[in-house]
Chain A
Amino acid sequence: SQTIHQWPATLVQPVGSPLSLECTVEGTSNPNLYWYRQAAGRGLQLLFYSVGIGQISSEVPQNLSASRPQDRQFILSSKKLLLSDSGFYLCAWGREILYEQYFGPGTRLTVT
């Protein structure tokens, strides 16, 4: 069976500090991978998705970047965090855009 991991589970970082969130998937190969941000009262916002190693599409301009160094690894980064980067970050995988996604447990990021 497939599983998806995210870490850390919670993170408190000061403004201006760097960020690295990691997501890994087990039990499948060549998945589509997604990063979402969920801010209070605003639903989920798709940040990035990837259909393969080194292939990253960004949905919205922002202070964040994503990388996919390995088939089942997806990393969300920032060089300098802003207060507005606070939120709940969810990683997900799916086999194809028309089909369901499977979500990780999420990372709660608080920027102070």
Chain B
Amino acid sequence: AQSVTQLDSHVSVSEGTPVLLRCNYSSSYSPSLFWYVQHPNKGLQLLLKYTSAATLVKGINGFEAEFKKSETSFHLTKPSAHMSDAAEYFCVVSGRKGGYQKVTFGIGTKLQVIP
């Protein structure tokens, strides 16, 4: 079985303060994990990915995430929020077991940045 839980549907931060978007996963496979960002009425853009290399992953726009297998978590962080970070963020787990392939999206977290 494979699932993704984004623990917060909405997060609100002030500009210049840290961002934390939480994601927990479960997988019977050896998964890859991703964070994507979506601005209104746009497609999704890849922020960063974990594919069994370094557990601390750095992405675009100052975002990073840490893969913690013991906690089955892959939280997204940024030290200082910018107004342009306001968007919806999706945590994704992708796995393969034998010939079966599965990708699962979280329901998304909407990030609001307050000036």
Contact = CB atoms under 8 A, between A and B. Distances in A.
Contacts, number: 57
Contact of A43 (B46, B49, B90, B101): B90
B108 A105 contact: no
B103 interface: yes
A98 B100 CA distance: 12
Q: Chain B: interface residue count, which band?
A: 20 to 34
Nearest to B6: A43
Interface string B44-70: 111001010000000000000000000
Contact of B32 (A34, A90, A99): A99
A50 B45 CA distance: 21
Contacts of B34: 100
B107 interface: yes
A106 B42 contact: yes
A43 B32 contact: no
Contact of A106 (B32, B43, B96): B43
Nearest to A57: B101
Max count, chain B CB within 10 A of own CB: residue among A90, A99, A100, A108: A100
B107 A90 contact: no
Interface of B: 31-32, 34, 36, 41-46, 49, 51, 90, 94-96, 101-108
Interface of A: 34, 36, 41-46, 49, 88, 90, 92, 97-106, 108
